Structure 1
Amino acid sequence: MYEHMTFEVILKRMLDRVPNDVDKREGSIIYDALAPAAAELAQMYAELDIILNLSFADTATGEWLARRTTEFGIERRPATKARRKGLFYGSGDVPLDVPVGSRFSIGGLNYRVIERLTAGQFSLECETAGAVGNQQFGAMLPIDYVAGLSRAELADVLVPGEDEESDEALRKRYFEAVREQPFGGNVADYKQKIGGIPGVGGVKPFPAWQGGGTVKCTIIAADYNPPASALIDEVQTAIDPVQNSGQGLGLAPIGHQVTIAGVQGVTVNVTTTVTLQSGVTLGQVQGEIESVIRDYLLSLRQMWADEDNLIVRVSQIEARILTVDGVTDVAGTTLNGVAANLELQSEQIPMLGTVTINVG
């Protein structure tokens, strides 16, 4: 609205109001008197345009977007801490129980023991919030002395940590809530309630999946991988703790019998033949080719909650391989041994298996 109010436009309008018998050329007294005011007005209009954009949810960013969505009860989701499985061993690799509250370090991150799962296996919480807590695996060093401990390993992601909600994610959630109007156990209500549980990256509700009153909700973890059983159990407890009771003891409405399930990962083995530029070897491009394929499958998993079913397309994989420096052509791509697109079911997501690259 105000972006066209430039210095030149404003100054011209001001000079147009001055009688023509007055010298208005650049350097004249009236020109030099009006130019500074025109510059200040141009700056003011530019700032007004910014403020106008920050006033509406479709263009607002940062704090201003959060203030707009909060008016509708939708607050930006903060970063959450990852929960991981820790494996602890004494001498002779005998499982060892460690004290709850003991702390361990790996890769610059600290993890605290919060719950015993079984002999020698504990749930640990990362002390640093965010997705960074999902990334480390392997040997940990104890921060506190633990008697009899000979080895500690950081293993499975039980509940993924999440970074603070991005502007685009918050904006999308805001418009969904405003337009779809969650109420009384409708599909939008289940999406909002389950999607707001830490560790959940998306949900697909299936109403009346085993008759009236039954609901199945399939979830994907916040890192867009199949969820661990611990996360599924947490969501089940929050939504319908006494499963299939219909008593309304959780977030599910009275009369709804809710079953929480996790997405199923389908391994995708890729075989392809590439033509390389002169002087380029397969070893130079192998890692990057695997990376672009992995990124493509991740982008599909991120879309899972909004799609009826996912399709892994050969053309998309080949197009991404062609973006790798050193690759001039690609052909003969197969997915799980078949030279065709791989169509998945509604509760399946693609997970990269082996990548076999031949040089043509």
Structure 2
Amino acid sequence: MYEDLTEEQVKARIIARLQTPLLTGEGSFTGDIIAAIAAELCQCYHSMDAMAPAFYVDETSGSYIDKQASMVGINRKAGTSAACPVTFTGSDGATVPAGAPFYTAAGLTFYLDGAVTISGGTATGTLTAAVGSAYNIGAGEIVSTLRNYSGITGYANGPATGGTDAETDTALVERYYARMRRSPTSGNPYHYQMWAGETDGVGFARVISKWDGDGTVKVLLASPDGGVVDPEVVAAAAAHIGTERPVGPAVTVLSATARMLEVSAAVSIDGSTSKEAVQDALEQAVGAYFKSLVSGSFSRNLDAELDALEEQTYTVLYNRVAFLLLSIPGVVDYTALTVGGGESNVVIAADEVPVLGEVTVT
């Protein structure tokens, strides 16, 4: 608003208002005073520019996002930690202390929740990581520890689950504006949508009223990246909704069903890229496209009494995927592009989300 305003412009405006003929040139007493005042006023104007993001928040507003959201009862989701079981083998009586660190090959760190002691040749414990979805590792991925523990001959982890990322600025802004524009009140569908969205691990939620007759509500959940959610997240969302909802309705909380779609193509490229780079770029672009479809579809709640649910579909456009492929720098042309095994649009049911499977570029 004032970013183009300069000290010279402010100084000229002050001088234009003077009613008394005074010397205002450089080095004059009046000119020096006006120059100092103009500098301070210009800083004030520029400071007012910095206040705009505080009142009109978007994903660039930084800490003001949290402050504005908290005014309407919305707090940033902090994320959750992943945990996995671990089995130790060794000599009876051997111990591993609480807090012992264990590492994956990629350097992700997990800590043992409580001390374990070998009995009958084995012992089990739980490893917990920091907050984040990156810690949802597979079985056997923990490969090292800080030191050797006397009497311990081996250890193996099971799959880690429960890790979710802290809410991004963009996601928090979306929840804030959804709250401001959709008026959740008195247990209406927007209210259930809001309660579901307050749960860590939930990115999108769709509410289907009267899905099994009067007095029934179904809440379908999708992850922040537009995929399915873990059973732990479903349980947490159901519990939270149960503490907030009005007495009466029978509420069912479920994860949306995954519609797995593989994408493959043969491409011609120039010398500025490689097929591996094109494959990575295509995976990111199509994943973002699928997420945008879920975001748009799940923003509309349904009423089974008014909507024929089997007709409330949305579509993955084959030509959109082709456009994304051709938009990747270095891609000249393509042949044999398939989406979900075919060369046509893919219709997604109202309770499904498109999940990107293997992406192959040859």
Please indicate the TM-score interval, normalised by the length of the shorter structure: 0.7 to 0.9
Q: Kindly tell me: are residues 202 and 121 of structure 1, through their superposed partners in 2, closer, same or farther at Cα, counting changes over 3 Å? A: farther
Q: Kindly tell me: are residues 294 and 111 of structure 1, through their superposed partners in 2, closer, same or farther at Cα, counting changes over 3 Å? A: farther
Contact 2:217/2:251 (CA < 8 Å) preserved in 1? Answer: yes
- CA distance in 2 between partners of 1:147 and 1:223 (Å): 44
Q: Kindly tell me: are residues 136 and 80 of structure 1, through their superposed partners in 2, closer, same or farther at Cα, counting changes over 3 Å? A: farther
Q: Which residue number corresponds to residue 37 of structure 2?
A: 37
Q: Kindly tell me: are residues 9 and 81 of structure 1, through their superposed partners in 2, closer, same or farther at Cα, counting changes over 3 Å? A: same
TM-score (norm 1): 0.77
Q: Which residue number corresponds to residue 160 of structure 1?
A: 163
Q: Structure 2 unaligned runs (5+)?
A: 91-95, 115-121, 301-311
Contact 2:103/2:109 (CA < 8 Å) preserved in 1? Answer: yes
1:174 aligns to what SS in structure 2? helix
- CA distance in 2 between partners of 1:235 and 1:26 (Å): 68
Q: Which residue number corresponds to residue 14 of structure 1?
A: 14
Say which is worse superposed, 180-189 or 209-218, in terms of deviation. Answer: 180-189
1:231 aligns to what SS in structure 2? helix
2:12 aligns to what SS in structure 1? helix
Amino acid at match of 2:71: E
Q: Which residue number corresponds to residue 61 of structure 1?
A: 61
Equivalent residue in structure 2 for 1:236, among 235, 238, 243: 238
2:79 aligns to what SS in structure 1? coil
Q: Which residue number corresponds to residue 353 of structure 2?
A: 349
Q: Which residue number corresponds to residue 128 of structure 2?
A: 125
Deviation sequence 1:331-356 (CA, Å, 0-9, x none):
44222332212121112122222334
Residue 24 of structure 1 deviates from its aligned partner by: 4.1
Say which is worse superposed, 60-69 or 212-221, in terms of deviation. Answer: 60-69
Residue 122 of structure 1 deviates from its aligned partner by: 7.1
Higher relative contact order (CA 8 A, sep 6+): 2
Q: Kindly tell me: are residues 10 and 70 of structure 1, through their superposed partners in 2, closer, same or farther at Cα, counting changes over 3 Å? A: same
- CA distance in 2 between partners of 1:280 and 1:190 (Å): 47
Q: Kindly tell me: are residues 275 and 99 of structure 1, through their superposed partners in 2, closer, same or farther at Cα, counting changes over 3 Å? A: same
Q: Which residue number corresponds to residue 103 of structure 2?
A: 105
1:321 aligns to what SS in structure 2? helix
Amino acid at match of 1:211: G
Identity %: 25
- CA distance in 2 between partners of 1:59 and 1:123 (Å): 37
Q: Which residue number corresponds to residue 260 of structure 1?
A: 253
Contact 1:160/1:223 (CA < 8 Å) preserved in 2? Answer: no
Give the superposed CA RMSD: 3.6
Q: Structure 1 unaligned runs (5+)?
A: 92-97, 241-249
Any residues of structure 2 matched to 1:173-322 within 5 Å, and which? 173-240=175-242, 250-277=243-270, 282=275, 285-301=278-294, 303=296, 305-306=298-299, 309-322=313-326
Amino acid at match of 1:180: R
Q: Kindly tell me: are residues 24 and 233 of structure 1, through their superposed partners in 2, closer, same or farther at Cα, counting changes over 3 Å? A: closer
Count of residues paired in the alignment: 335
